[in-house]
């Protein structure tokens, strides 16, 4: 549902320099490829005691560091598939509230009634997952100090994140994040959000089922291997479907699974599935070609020319494409 990661930097000169570079990056970019257009009067950082600018936050990290930690940083990243259920104009409010509830709830669950200073910035990057690229992926980066005020000791004490069996703070952070995510989805989407997400997953499972049949064609690799593929569609969200193809893909560990690769998105489901079936169904007549390249070329050509641009209001069976033109 939501990923929450923890990292830290040590109080050394090199780490302090890297921290300032990181703060600058978080301030002026949403990702490696996406810059941010700053707007006068709109603060980038939300200040809960650690400052509202690179200079202020860096100074607070230095002032509140421990002997071992200069700063902790959290990333709170909701599942883009669940975010897609939330109206576009409400997503920033959702991720901000999720962040504040998570941080405050986490320290309350640890018995730190006074809480902890923090500042965070919201990023609005797009996903780069090859299976579903371009989904809105709002998330936050949170900066925490190396120490926290203790009422019991009457002074600041070291802040730490333990993973011991009796006090697994990482597991606790994940539990608080997941519970907060579910509560907010109930409010921002509705109590049926889980059923709606499961319905999307069920559609995707049916669409993936096309890979149980005979391949539509084969992709010729540079090594001369023939990789099977199936022309098909994959539901992106409740309103949009992508047309593309399924093929076996190996992960970093070498495990192979069938994954989808989109060619075009923003289509009606029935229309996308019909389009993939019609184009994929004619590839067997061209066994001497790289059929995947042909499949992609025909799809892109037809969509560009508007031959199949019926729109979601006018779904219908597309005509058989001319593969020889």
Whether residues 7 and 146 fall in one domain:
yes
Q: What is the mean pLDDT of residues 210-232?
A: 91
d(CA 144, CA 154) in angstroms, rounded, equals 20
Q: Which phi and psi (to 5°) does residue 271 adopt?
A: -65, -45
Domain end position, chosen among 147, 162, 191: 191
82: CATH: 3.30.930
Judge whether 123 lies within some domain. Answer: yes
Whether residues 187 and 273 fall in one domain:
no
Whether residues 236 and 162 fall in one domain:
no
How confident is the model at residue 252, as a pLDDT?
Answer: 85
Looking at the 3D structure of the chain, how many domains does it have?
A: 2
Whether residues 76 and 175 fall in one domain:
yes
Q: Do 134 and 265 touch, CB atoms closer than 8 A?
A: yes
How confident is the model at residue 301, as a pLDDT?
Answer: 86
Judge whether 200 lies within some domain. Answer: no
Judge whether 263 lies within some domain. Answer: yes
Judge whether 39 lies within some domain. Answer: yes
How confident is the model at residue 93, as a pLDDT?
Answer: 96
Whether residues 222 and 179 fall in one domain:
no
* Band of residue 97 on the pLDDT scale cut at 50, 70, 90: very high
How confident is the model at residue 243, as a pLDDT?
Answer: 95
Instruction: State which residues form the domain around 9.
Output: 2-191
What is the pTM for the complete model shown? 0.84
For residue range 125-158, what is the model confidence (pLDDT) as tens digits? 888 889 888 889 999 999 999 999 988 888 899 9
For residue range 4-28, what is the model confidence (pLDDT) as tens digits? 888 999 999 999 999 999 998 898 8
Domain end position, chosen among 191, 220, 235: 191
Helix 169-188 vs helix 193-208: crossing angle, to nearest 10: 100
Q: Choose among 118, 150, 124: nearest CA to 26.
A: 124
Residue 47: beta bridge partners? 119
Whether residues 27 and 168 fall in one domain:
yes
How confident is the model at residue 312, as a pLDDT?
Answer: 41
- pLDDT averaged over the chain? 88
Whether residues 110 and 153 fall in one domain:
yes
How confident is the model at residue 42, as a pLDDT?
Answer: 53
Whether residues 176 and 256 fall in one domain:
no
Whether residues 224 and 180 fall in one domain:
no
Q: Do 23 and 92 touch, CB atoms closer than 8 A?
A: no
d(CA 23, CA 55) in angstroms, rounded, equals 9
pLDDT at 311 over 60: no
How confident is the model at residue 318, as a pLDDT?
Answer: 46
Judge whether 154 lies within some domain. Answer: yes
Residue 72: beta bridge partners? 8, 144
How confident is the model at residue 117, as a pLDDT?
Answer: 95
How confident is the model at residue 314, as a pLDDT?
Answer: 37
Judge whether 69 lies within some domain. Answer: yes
Which single residue is written with the structure tokens 């606790």?
Answer: 172
3-state SS, 183-203, equals HHHHHHCCCCHHHHHHHHHHH
For residue range 23-77, what is the model confidence (pLDDT) as tens digits? 988 988 766 666 666 554 457 899 999 999 999 999 999 999 999 999 999 999 9
For residue range 146-189, what is the model confidence (pLDDT) as tens digits? 999 988 888 899 998 887 767 789 999 999 999 999 999 999 99
How confident is the model at residue 322, as a pLDDT?
Answer: 53
Whether residues 242 and 296 fall in one domain:
yes
Domain end position, chosen among 132, 156, 191: 191
Which sign, positive or negative, has the C-alpha torsion 287, 290, 296, 298? negative
* Band of residue 113 on the pLDDT scale cut at 50, 70, 90: confident
Judge whether 53 lies within some domain. Answer: yes
Q: Choose among 78, 22, 16, 13: nearest CA to 45.
A: 22
Q: Give the range with max mean pLDDT: 24-28, 286-290, 296-300.
A: 296-300
Q: What is the mean pLDDT of residues 277-284?
A: 90
d(CA 99, CA 198) in angstroms, rounded, equals 25
Whether residues 141 and 262 fall in one domain:
no
Judge whether 8 lies within some domain. Answer: yes
Antiparallel, parallel or unpaired: β 71-78 and 136-145:
antiparallel
d(CA 301, CA 209) in angstroms, rounded, equals 26
Helix 13-28 vs helix 54-63: crossing angle, to nearest 10: 150
Whether residues 67 and 148 fall in one domain:
yes
Q: What is the mean pLDDT of residues 83-110?
A: 95
How confident is the model at residue 44, as a pLDDT?
Answer: 86
Question: CA separation (Å) from 240 to 88, 108, 155, 311?
Answer: 15, 41, 55, 11
């Amino acid at each position: 549902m939501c990923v929450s990661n923890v990292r830290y930097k040590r109080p050394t000169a090199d780490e302090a320099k890297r921290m300032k570079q990181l703060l600058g990056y978080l301030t002026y970019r949403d990702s490696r490829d996406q810059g941010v257009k700053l707007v006068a009067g709109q603060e980038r950082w939300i200040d809960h005691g650690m400052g509202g600018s690179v200079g202020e936050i860096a100074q607070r990290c230095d002032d509140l560091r421990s002997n071992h930690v200069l700063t902790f940083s959290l990333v709170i990243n909701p599942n883009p598939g669940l975010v897609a259920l939330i109206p576009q104009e409400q997503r920033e409010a959702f991720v901000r509230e999720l962040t504040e509830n998570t941080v405050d709830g986490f320290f309350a669950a640890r018995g730190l009634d006074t809480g902890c200073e923090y500042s965070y910035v919201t990023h609005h990057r797009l996903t780069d997952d090859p299976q579903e690229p371009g989904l809105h992926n709002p998330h936050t980066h949170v900066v925490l100090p190396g120490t926290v005020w203790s009422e019991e000791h009457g002074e600041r004490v070291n802040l730490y994140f333990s993973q011991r069996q009796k006090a697994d703070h990482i597991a606790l952070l994940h539990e608080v994040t997941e519970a907060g995510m579910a509560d907010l989805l109930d409010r921002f989407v509705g109590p049926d959000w889980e059923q709606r997400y499961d319905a999307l997953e069920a559609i995707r499972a049916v669409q993936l089922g096309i890979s149980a049949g005979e391949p539509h064609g084969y992709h010729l690799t540079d090594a001369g291997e023939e990789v099977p593929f199936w022309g098909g569609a994959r539901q992106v969200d409740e309103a949009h479907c992508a047309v593309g193809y399924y093929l076996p893909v190996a992960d970093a560990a070498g495990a192979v699974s069938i994954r989808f690769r989109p060619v075009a998105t923003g289509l009606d489901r029935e229309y996308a599935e019909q389009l993939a079936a019609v184009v994929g169904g004619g590839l067997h007549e061209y066994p001497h070609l790289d059929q995947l390249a042909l499949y992609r070329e025909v799809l892109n050509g037809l969509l560009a020319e508007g031959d199949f641009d019926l729109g979601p209001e006018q779904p219908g069976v597309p005509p058989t494409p001319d593969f020889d033109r």
